[in-house]
Chain A
Amino acid sequence: MISSTRLLGISFERRRTRRWAVALYWFWVLVFSGLFLRHQAREGLGSVDLMLLVFSVVNLSALLGGVRSGGPVKPFHGIHWAPLADDSDRLQSLFRGPRSLSIAGNMMAPEIDLDERDAALRDRIHFVAYTLCRWLALLLFGIYAALSIFNAGWLVRVSPLFFFLLALTLWSLPQSIILWNEPDVVEAEA
């Protein structure tokens, strides 16, 4: 389930590297949430903040792969778009060098689907991630209701973050679990 794509020159074949990447990712989400909360408490919620939250959900989680190709986790639904599959000359002229060609490999490849093992793993991990998200939704709802009773002023400040965290967790938790648990690629192939 781990792709051989390198992200920022870093290979994700070793589990230790992946665990550091996942820890860093979620640490950054926490820091971002804290900074956002602080900014919102001082200056309120503007349209720029809105756009930042909306785009962050998609782009942050895309770093981990899964929901798109090119990340450390293989795309969950395979690759079904090969725009230059029949035009290898153009591909060669556009992409020169071994690194570029490996990126372009996705554009040439015919439909690639996950094998049976990867598909079963993907589904099983989604079961776990969904269950965790359900508990997160319950927790956030409880906090929202409590704030609504005891401190309505904080409610308006904190609630945009709730939706951001819920959406981001939903979209990136499966990849995080896969990256954390999958064995080293060399071990698996052996």
Chain B
Amino acid sequence: MIRTRIFGISLETRRARRLFVAGFWLAEAVMLAVLFQFPMPLEIAHGKLLPLVIVLAVASNLPLYLGGFSTGGAVKYYEGRRFQLKPETVARLSAKPKHARLVNRLLTEMRPVDEREAQLRDWAYHRAHRLLFWMLYPGAVVYLAVAAISLSLVARLGFVLLEFFLIASMSLPQSLLLWTLPEDEPQIGESL
């Protein structure tokens, strides 16, 4: 269920995966801290809109590299693709050994999750659901308290909080999987 390498970083050991997850969340924390510096509402940001859009785009696209709900990431795509390659197409593409490894990886990713992977996925989503609520609820309470006290901060805080929840909703289940799966977890690209 886990990709072997991503951007040249090996994810074969659990330690490497945990460092990858920690690095991801550190990068997101930095993005969110930068986002908080932008003036709000955006109509007064004027010339700072382009840097804001760039930071937002990077922060929102980083979770894609964890995979899960997207292809090509560290965790196998949950749904699997709905189309199948013809055997002759597979044979033609796999003619060279180098291409054969790539094709095998592609086929594994295109295969819908099996029962075991589905159970793991559902377990991770259940845990992530509770974790997300217990992050969202205090965050919302803080936001509402700030909204009642200081209107100047509320727009910026709301923007950053919503972006944080969006990122968390995209990446928590995959983070949990990468953090907890054992080292002998079958990896994308291994022979079926």
A residues engaging B (CB < 8 A)? 45-47, 49-50, 53-54, 57, 76, 120, 122-124, 126-127, 129-131, 133-134, 137-138, 140-141, 144-145, 147-150, 152, 155-156, 159-160, 162-164, 166-167, 170-171, 174
Separation of A53 and B142 alpha carbons in the complex (Å): 12
Q: Are B154 and A170 in contact (CB under 8 A)?
A: no
CB-CB under 8 A from B69, the residues of chain A are: 131, 134
A19 to chain B, nearest CB (A): 23
Q: Are A134 and B125 in contact (CB under 8 A)?
A: no
Q: Chain B interface secondary structure, helix, strand, loop or mixed?
A: helix
Q: Which of B40, B123, B133 contacts A148 (CB 8 A)?
A: B40
**B168-192 interface code vs A (CB 8 A; 1 in, 0 out):** 0110010000000000000000000
Separation of A122 and B137 alpha carbons in the complex (Å): 22
Q: Are B148 and A150 in contact (CB under 8 A)?
A: no
Q: Are B144 and A174 in contact (CB under 8 A)?
A: no
Known: A152-B43, A152-B155. A130 touches B129 (CB 8 A): yes
CB-CB under 8 A from B122, the residues of chain A are: 120, 123-124, 126-127
CB-CB under 8 A from B141, the residues of chain A are: 54
Lowest 3 CB-CB distances: which A-B pairs, in order?
Answer: A123-B122, A152-B41, A163-B140
Q: Which of A47, A129, A148 contacts B129 (CB 8 A)?
A: A129
In this assembly, does B136 line the interface, its C-beta being within 8 Å of a C-beta of chain A?
yes
* B-side interface residues, number (CB < 8 Å): 39
Q: Which of B41, B43, B69 has the most CB of A within 10 A?
A: B41
In this assembly, does B147 line the interface, its C-beta being within 8 Å of a C-beta of chain A?
yes
Q: Are B125 and A163 in contact (CB under 8 A)?
A: no
Count CB-based A-B contacts (< 8 Å).
117
A66 to chain B, nearest CB (A): 11
Q: Chain A interface secondary structure, helix, strand, loop or mixed?
A: helix
Separation of A46 and B145 alpha carbons in the complex (Å): 9
Q: Are B42 and A141 in contact (CB under 8 A)?
A: no
In this assembly, does B24 line the interface, its C-beta being within 8 Å of a C-beta of chain A?
no
Q: Which of B123, B147, B170 contacts A159 (CB 8 A)?
A: B147
Separation of A144 and B156 alpha carbons in the complex (Å): 11
Known: A137-B166, A149-B43, A156-B151. A130 touches B125 (CB 8 A): yes
Q: Are A156 and B155 in contact (CB under 8 A)?
A: yes
Q: Are A144 and B133 in contact (CB under 8 A)?
A: no
Q: Are B163 and A47 in contact (CB under 8 A)?
A: no
Separation of A126 and B159 alpha carbons in the complex (Å): 26
Separation of A89 and B177 alpha carbons in the complex (Å): 47
